[in-house]
Chains A and B, each alone.
Chain A
Amino acid sequence: MRSVLFWSLVAAILVYMTLPAVVVVATSVNPTELMAFPPTGFSLRWYEKALTYPDFQTAFRSSLIVMALASTLATLLGSTFAFLIFHYNFRGRGLLEAALWSPLIIPHFTTGFGFLLLGSHLNLTQGYAVIVMAHLLLVTPFVTRAVFVSLSNVDANYSRAAANLGATPSGVLFKVTLPLVLPGMLGGWLIAAILSLTEFTASLYVTASRTQTLPVAMYNYIREYADPTISAISALLILSTTIIMILANHFLGLRRILGIDNG
């Protein structure tokens, strides 16, 4: 009796979590212009439309540019922060840690709006700079955490052994610590990429029509049209992020990045 209840609950949770994606992908193969669920047939025409729609093509390019810049810069910045917090117990440390986690508690639209104001003061509203800056702020905490966890898992004795064998402190860093933390940094970079690729709220404020990222373009599309093209492009986006997720899991283990396992 309890077993049935248990499995019903598990099934209900699974359904609830996956239903939106399932519905979207299902409607994307519908042969007609209606958003029918379940679909009345099978057709890939909407995928063809999505892939050839100029706004989506431009937006995807923008997303990639922002993603590449934001995730790479976030990895450099976040790794540096992680090393600082891990190794040094300096006086402003608590404050720095709080500042690093703050993007998690500040709503994305506040961040976006803030950068919009900043951008208009600096006359940067039409370029990629503000978008990258906003994304950088939002994704760096995740990279910092991933690298920090990775550092915590490196046996302290490795660096001691290296020093004992004659390696200078910088030698220890480059020959022993960094190679061992590299998987963690790579995983952090991939997580940053996913977060940037799918970021919508802040991007809405800081993108211009020329620089809009894919999620923003999708939003604009659905305000005017209601055909399965949007489902198709959504499915493609889900596919992209899934691939990145699989890669991130391979290098770091998602459980650790997301803080479920504590090291």
Chain B
Amino acid sequence: MIHQKMAALQSDDSAVEIKHVSRVFGAVQAVSDVSLSIRNGEFITLLGPSGCGKTTLLNMVAGFINPSSGAIHIGGRDVTDVPVHLRDTGMVFQSYALFPHMNVFDNVAFGLRQRKFSKAEISAKVMQAIEMMSLSGMEQRRISQLSGGQQQRVALARAIVIQPKVLLLDEPLSALDKSLRAQMQVELIELHRNTGLTTIFVTHDQGEALSLSDRIVVMSKGQIQQVTEPIDLYRNPANGFVASFIGEINALPSASCSVTSQEVALDIGDVRLVAPRRAEWQVASGRPVKAFVRPEHIRIAGPADAGRNVVTGEVLTHIYQGSHTITRLHVDGLGQIEMRLPGGDVVGRIPVGLKTDIAFDLAEVVLLPDTAA
């Protein structure tokens, strides 16, 4: 409800436009010709390993760093040359950066005070934000008296209370322990739903990105690798980097393929795998391809498989995780394969050292042209 109201108030359809932005530091190209259009009210994540340029890009949207070339628009306005304090963005830093010489109330009120609201208005908005972040009763506390989780909420309250055009989150959950992190992820989703704020989230944790985002921007070495929704990203990675970065996956050696109207047959040495053909695949008979199979799409072969997409592997190790087990096998011709099965039965069924048949379910296989060959 509030979401739609806030979205309607924005005059422009795209909240943030990044146009051919690059940034160079000396000899290092940190961000390389990045263009991105972020919709109003969207929760978009910049995802990638450290050094990929995601934080640099975020800092350019905030205005802390200027692009070497390109332009940035916020709310339809070109802000490339606009100083930080006039951009109307709200940022949550990885270290929270809460002002140590002020209490919780004054921290949250800081942004409002720069905007010359009346005392009564400030008080009302601050208390509302404090309540929204479950911090009621803590207004007078000093920052040093708060736990990590509480500090994070204050940092969020401080940024959202000013109702910025864009909310910028720089790996805000990385300092939290596992259970607190999971809890905060859920709260972030709810917060986004309640406020409808356009949000740019930066993280290196692909699991986090998958659970929080409307869209994910995968970056590597300063360039965008792929921009799409989480499910699409998981099922249809655009290249080898994205395939390996998102979730767990088995990258099979290069295969030559023969294509029919219904199927694609992959030959990797002596191994032949046959997958149902998907329209979006760019494959042609004779052209080498790389296949990627997720561990959850591999299982112990049974009589129903009748040898189709079945290979023999030697069990190397089991990694028991409680709800599931990762089993590593060595398959001649394919190398090391990881298989994911629920529970822990697999440990007893196929002990280490045993040679066993495993079957590939190739309905969801990722097939990419082999650019290296």
Contacts and interface: CB of A to CB of B under 8 A. Distances in A.
A220 interface: no
22 contacts: A155-B95, A157-B95, A158-B100, A160-B97, A161-B97, A161-B98, A164-B84, A164-B85, A164-B90, A165-B85, A165-B90, A165-B158, A165-B159, A165-B162, A166-B115, A166-B162, A167-B114, A168-B85, A171-B85, A171-B114, A175-B110, A180-B101
Contacts of B64: 160, 164
Given A155-B95, A179-B101, A180-B100, A164 B115 contact: no
Contacts of A168: 85
B85 A158 contact: no
A162 interface: yes
Interface residues of B, number: 25
Contact of B89 (A164, A167, A171, A180): A164
B64, B83, B85 — which one has the most chain A CB atoms within 10 A of its CB? Answer: B85
Nearest to A176: B99
A162 B93 CA distance: 12
Contacts of A176: 99
Contacts of B95: 155, 157
Nearest to B114: A166
B7 interface: no
B97 A155 contact: yes
B44 interface: no
A6 B111 CA distance: 57
A85 interface: no
A161 B91 contact: yes
B18 interface: no
Given A158-B99, A179-B101, A180-B101, A163 B93 contact: no
Nearest to A168: B85
Interface string A59-88: 000000000000000000000000000000
A164 B91 contact: yes
A175 B110 CA distance: 10
B62 interface: yes
A157 to B, nearest CB: 4
Give the bracket for the number of chain A residues in contact with chain B: 10 to 19
Interface string B58-88: 0000111000000000000000000111110
Interface of B: 62-64, 83-87, 89-91, 93, 95, 97-101, 110-111, 114-115, 158-159, 162
A180 B111 CA distance: 18
B84 A157 contact: no
Contacts of A164: 62-64, 84-85, 87, 89-91
A155 B97 CA distance: 8
B85 A166 contact: yes
A161 B114 contact: no
A157 B97 contact: yes
B84 A163 contact: yes
A157 B101 CA distance: 14
B86 to A, nearest CB: 8
Nearest to B94: A157
Given A157-B93, A171-B114, A163 B99 contact: no
Given A155-B95, A161-B99, A168-B85, 7 more contacts: A161-B93, A163-B83, A164-B90, A164-B91, A166-B114, A166-B115, A167-B114
A85 B263 CA distance: 70
Nearest to A154: B100
A60 B15 CA distance: 68
A160 B115 CA distance: 17
Nearest to A166: B114
Nearest to A180: B101
Contacts of B63: 164
Contacts of B115: 166
Interface string A166-201: 111101000110011000000000000000000000
Contacts of B114: 165-167, 171
Contacts of B100: 158, 180
A94 to B, nearest CB: 21
B312 to A, nearest CB: 56
B101 A163 contact: no
B62, B95, B110 — which one has the most chain A CB atoms within 10 A of its CB? Answer: B110
A165 B101 contact: no
B240 to A, nearest CB: 36
A89 to B, nearest CB: 15
Nearest to A161: B97
Contacts of A180: 100-101
Nearest to B92: A161
Nearest to A167: B114
A167 B97 contact: no
B245 to A, nearest CB: 28
B142 to A, nearest CB: 13
Interface string A33-68: 000000000000000000000000000000000000
